[in-house]
Amino acid sequence: MLITCPYCGPRDVIEFTYQGDGNRERPQPASQDLDAWNAYVYDRLNPAGDHSEIWQHSGGCRAHLRVVRNTITHEILSTEFARGGHKSADNRAEDRP
């Protein structure tokens, strides 16, 4: 399986660390909403089909990526920086802090 990192280009899956379901919403740190925290920690969307998930390029640029991948075929449909804004290596300077 190859994942195309927006910085580094297509790289083997062994360079990446899987961080799971990318649809979870972390409550505000001060939140006392137990249901929201429980959902964040324990609940996962686990579809047979397209899945939006977070990977880190831990063996490369260490960027966190949002990858849409099909869990039946393992086909990767899109890759972008998890925090958004960036789409490709070409425009990476635009959003740099």
Partner 1 sequence: MAEYSAFSLLKNALTGNKDWKPAWRKPDPKASYDVIVIGGGGHGLSTAYYLAKEHGITNVAVLEKGWLGSGNVGRNTTAVRSNYLLPQNTRFYEHSMKLWENLSHDLNYNVMFSQRGCLNLAHTPAQLDDYARRGNAMRHLGVDAELMNVDQIKRLVPALDVSGSARFPVLGGLMQPRAGTARHDAVAWGYARGADRRGVDIIENCEVTGFLRDGGRITGVTTTRGEIRAKKVALAVAGSTGHVMQLAGISHMPIESHVLQAFVSESLKPIVDTVLTFGMGHFYISQSDKGGLVYGGDLDGYNSYAQRGSLPIVDEVMSEMLALFPGLARVRMLRSWGGLCDMTMDGSPIITTGPLPGMYLNCGWCYGGFKATPASGWCFAHTIAKDEPHEFNAPFTLDRFYRGLIIDDKGQGANPRLH
Task: Return the structure tokens found at 15.
Answer: 């360079």
Rg (CA), the chain: 15
Contact 66, 52 (CB under 8 A): yes
Among 9, 10, 18, 91, interactor with partner 1 by CB under 8 A: 18
Residues 37-56 within binding reach of partner 1 (CB under 8 A): 38-39, 41-48, 51, 53
Number of chain positions touching partner 1 (CB under 8 A): 26
Taking CB under 8 A as the criterion, the residue among 10, 31, 59, 72 binding partner 1 is: 72
Binding segment for partner 1 among 18-26, 56-64, 79-87, 89-97 (CB under 8 A)?
18-26
Nearest alpha carbon to residue 95 among 7, 4, 28: 7
- By beta-carbon proximity to partner 1, the closer residue of 42 and 84 is 42
**Calpha distance 66→88 (Å, rounded):** 13
Burial class (CB in 10 A: 0-12, 13-18, 19+), 67: buried
Residues that bind partner 1 (CB under 8 A): 1, 12-14, 18, 20-21, 34-35, 38-39, 41-48, 51, 53, 69, 71-74
